[in-house]
């Protein structure tokens, strides 16, 4: 699908970037809404939107594709609020990083043929329209999660991301997505925040952080309210991942207690080999 009229609800880093990229791709009409009036004005002034109506219902009624780009809990509420206001033949997606809840809600609302979830792996720890940029989704992976019986609309959503945003769409079940993201995204966020907690409590006054500490704690600067929603919505997958950290951490503790250089080196080498494979 390459819509002539695109609607975006939420104008932060993701929604704002989507508007910018859609206009650069030549989408004739891009409408958007944010609960912040100043953000709506900025998005129009900077060319990310053609118009920003005062109510999200006005956007939903005027577009062919509606993208919910708010935080996860807000997207659930927006799906409930806006699905009945969609124009005839229009379809919907969202951009949240937890998919089971919103896909299940779409199924409950009998929207399987009009809604498929999306999750672009192109986020930033910065928030708000100021964090948006015009090439955020270029070459990014975007996961597409269909509802039961919604393979057709999922293909339309995938084509939108690929043709308009030059992203790489990958379709998978919502449950598979959430299990994978718990390990590859949500757990790293927790680990970064854990290290930041430790450093905040134990770093000597006046001590400088090296590049390693800055790199590994970068995610800790992410928006706390957003990540509270993500972690709670996916907690059944995040909790086992957190508990699984105990095994490798315990292995290092035992090697250090024993003064076993061979085991310490093997522990570090396993991690180093994996990271080098990721870089290739």
pLDDT digits (tens, 9 = 90+) for 141-158: 999 999 999 999 999 999
pLDDT of 128: 85
List, in sequence order, every residue forming a beta bridge with 144; answer none if it has no partner: 118, 171
Is there a single domain that holds both residue 17 and residue 140? Answer: yes
126 has pLDDT over 80: no
The reply to whether the predicted model has a pTM over 0.85 is yes
Domain-ending residue, one of 142, 172, 202: 172
Is there a single domain that holds both residue 121 and residue 249? Answer: no
pLDDT digits (tens, 9 = 90+) for 200-249: 999 998 899 999 999 999 999 999 999 999 999 999 999 999 999 999 99
Is there a single domain that holds both residue 106 and residue 187? Answer: no
Is there a single domain that holds both residue 40 and residue 129? Answer: yes
Domain-ending residue, one of 115, 148, 172: 172
pLDDT of 279: 80
pLDDT of 155: 97
Is there a single domain that holds both residue 139 and residue 72? Answer: yes
Q: For the chain, first and last CA: distance in Å?
A: 33
List, in sequence order, every residue forming a beta bridge with 146; answer none if it has no partner: 116
Report the pLDDT averaged over residues 3-29: 96
pLDDT of 125: 66
Is there a single domain that holds both residue 214 and residue 117? Answer: no
Bridging pattern class, strands 29-33 and 5-9: parallel
Is there a single domain that holds both residue 184 and residue 236? Answer: yes
Question: pLDDT-based confidence at 176, cuts 50/70/90?
Answer: very high
pLDDT digits (tens, 9 = 90+) for 76-96: 999 999 999 999 999 999 999
Is there a single domain that holds both residue 107 and residue 9? Answer: yes
Question: pLDDT-based confidence at 103, cuts 50/70/90?
Answer: very high
CATH (domain of 186): 1.10.3660.10
Is there a single domain that holds both residue 156 and residue 110? Answer: yes
Per residue, what are the HEC states of the chain? CCCCEEEEECCCHHHHHHHHHHHHCCCCEEEEECCCHHHHHHHHHCCCCCECCCCHHHHHCCCCEEEECCCHHHHHHHHHHHHHHCCCCCEEEECCCCCHHHHHHHHHCCCCCCEEEEEECCCCCCCCHHHCCCCCCCCCEEEEEECCCCHHHHHHHHHHHHHHHCCEEEECCHHHHHHHHHHHHHHHHHHHHHHHHHHHHHCCCCCCCCHHHHHHCHHHHCCHHHHHHHHHHCHHHHHHHHHHCHHHHHHHHHHHHHCCHHHHHHHHHHHHHHHHHHHC
Cα separations (Å) of 73 from 9, 68, 98, 157, 258?
13, 11, 10, 21, 48
Is there a single domain that holds both residue 42 and residue 85? Answer: yes
Is there a single domain that holds both residue 153 and residue 185? Answer: no
Domain-ending residue, one of 172, 204, 231: 172
65 has pLDDT over 70: yes
pLDDT of 42: 93
Counting the structural domains of the chain, the total is 2
Is there a single domain that holds both residue 15 and residue 55? Answer: yes
The residue count for the chain: 280
127 has pLDDT over 80: no
Its domain, for residue 238, covers 177-279
CATH (domain of 82): 3.40.50.720
């Amino acid at each position: 699908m390459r819509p002539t009229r695109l609607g975006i609800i939420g104008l932060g880093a993701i929604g704002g970037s989507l508007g910018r990229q859609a206009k650069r791709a030549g989408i004739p009409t891009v409408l958007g809404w944010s609960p912040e009036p100043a953000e709506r004005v900025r998005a129009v002034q900077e060319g990310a939107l053609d118009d920003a109506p005062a109510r999200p219902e006005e956007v939903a009624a005027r577009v062919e594709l509606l993208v919910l780009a708010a935080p996860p809990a807000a997207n659930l509420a927006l799906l409930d609020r806006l699905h009945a206001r969609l124009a005839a033949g229009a379809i919907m997606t969202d951009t949240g990083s937890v998919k089971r809840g919103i896909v299940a809600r779409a199924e409950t609302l009998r929207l399987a043929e009009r809604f498929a979830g999306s999750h672009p792996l192109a986020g930033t720890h910065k928030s708000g329209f100021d964090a948006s940029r015009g090439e955020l989704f270029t070459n990014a992976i975007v996961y597409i999660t269909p509802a039961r019986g919604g393979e057709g609309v999922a293909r339309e959503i995938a084509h939108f991301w690929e043709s308009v945003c030059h992203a790489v769409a990958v379709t998978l079940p919502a449950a598979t997505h959430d299990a994978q993201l718990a390990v590859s995204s949500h757990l790293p966020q927790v680990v970064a925040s854990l290290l930041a907690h430790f450093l905040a409590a134990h770093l000597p006054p006046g001590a400088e952080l090296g590049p390693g500490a800055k790199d590994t704690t970068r995610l800790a600067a992410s928006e706390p309210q957003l990540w509270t929603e993500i972690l709670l919505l996916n907690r059944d997958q995040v909790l086992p991942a957190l508990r699984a950290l105990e095994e490798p951490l315990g292995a290092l503790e035992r090697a250090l207690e024993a003064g076993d250089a061979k085991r310490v080196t093997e522990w570090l080498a396993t991690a180093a080999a994996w990271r080098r494979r990721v870089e290739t």
